Amino acid sequence: MIVGLVGATGLVGQTILKVLEERRFPLAGLKLWASSRSAGRRIRFKGKNYPVASVERADFSGCGIVFFAGTEGEKGASRRYAQKAIAAGAVVIDNGADFRMHPGVPLIVPEANPGDVKKHRGLIANPNCSTIQMVVALVSIHKKYKIKRIVVSTYQAVSGAGRAGVDALQKEMQIANCKIKNSVFPRKIAYNVIPQISDFSELGYSGEEWKMVRETQKILHDKNIAVNATTVRVPVMTGHSESVYFETGKNCSLKQIEALLSKAPGVVYDGKEFFTPAELKDSDMTYVSRLRPDPVKKNAFVMWVVADNLRKGAATNAVQIAELLLNRQIAKSAKKNLI
C-alpha cells in the first residue's frame, strides 16, 4: 500500500521511517508532509530521495495508511487533517494525544489488545510512551492474576518533548551554572530532575500522569484498575525508565510472575542484572529487571521497566499497528479468494 507520514521531519517521524525500513513494511509508495516551515526538504528512504510537502495542501488520495507523528504534549496536526485523510480512504494512526480517550477510537498496544484494531472507524490512536512500556510489562500478569492496583513513578527522557527538548538539554549542558529559561521545560533540565510533565490539572496531578491512569484502563479494558502515577523529566536523551509497583487480585508468587515475564511478548526480563536507558538505544523491546516482592503486603510486587521512548514508545508501536491492519487486509483478501 501507499503510506503517508505527517510530521516527517520530527524525531518521531524520522524514527517511523527508520522502523518501516528495518521491518520491511511493504510499500507501494511513500508520501511525506510536514509544517510549512519544513516543507521543501528531501528525505532519503531506501536509497531514494522523497520530497516533503506542506501538510496544509496535503493530498491523501491513494494512501492506505497515514501516520501522524505528533510530539507528546503538543496539539497534533491530526485535529485538522485526520478527517481529510480518512475521507480519502486512509486509516490514520495518530501518535498524538488528541483522540486517545475518544470512545470511538481504539487505543492500541499490539502485545496487549491487538483485537481492538478491528473496531476502528478510520482512526487508531497510539498511546502515551510511558503507558506503552508499562502495559507491555504488565499485560501478561493482568491476564493471569488480575492486577487491581498500580503505583508508577517515571523517569522520562528529554526526547519525549521532541527535538526542542533534546536541543534544550544539549545547550544547557554546554554552559556552566546555566540559568537558561526556555519554553520547553518549566525548570532547567541539565543536572536536574523536574516532577512535572505537561500542565497540572485535576487534584494536582499533571496531564501526563492522568494519561497513564486513563490509557492503562482503556487498553486493558478494566476501569477498576487503580493507577497512581508520578511523572518526572530527567536529563537523559532517549529512553524512559519506570518504577512500577503493582498488586494482584489473585494469589501468586514471585516465581510465577518471573515465569510470565520471561515469556511475555515484547519483554526482555533479567532476574539478576538491571537495565538502564544507555544500554538499549534503537531497541524495540521493553526491558524488565529488579523484580521483587513487597516486604509486607501479599500479592504485591515492584519492578524496574525501561524502553526506548522514540521506538517502542512511539514509532515502533505505530508501525506494529500498521502491520496489524495489513495482516487483517491480507486475511480478508484470502477469505474472498477462497469464497
Among 129, 142, 178, 252, the active-site one is 129
Tell me how long the chain is. Answer: 339
Amino acid at the residue 44: R
Instruction: Find out whether 120 and 91 touch, Cβ atoms under 8 Å.
Output: yes
Among 63, 120, 142, 240, the active-site one is 240
CA angle 10, 236, 181 (to 5 degrees): 75
Q: Is 178 a catalytic residue?
A: no
Q: Which residues contact 235 (CB under 8 A, 6 or more apart)?
A: 158, 169, 173, 189, 190, 191, 192, 193
Instruction: Find out whether 299 and 89 touch, Cβ atoms under 8 Å.
Output: no
Cell of 166: 533534546
- d(C-alpha 237, C-alpha 235), whole Å: 7
Q: Which residues contact 50 (CB under 8 A, 6 or more apart)?
A: 30, 31, 32, 42, 43, 44
Q: Is 252 a catalytic residue?
A: no
Instruction: Find out whether 222 and 143 touch, Cβ atoms under 8 Å.
Output: no
CA angle 119, 224, 70 (to 5 degrees): 50
Q: Which residues are the active-site residues?
A: 129, 240
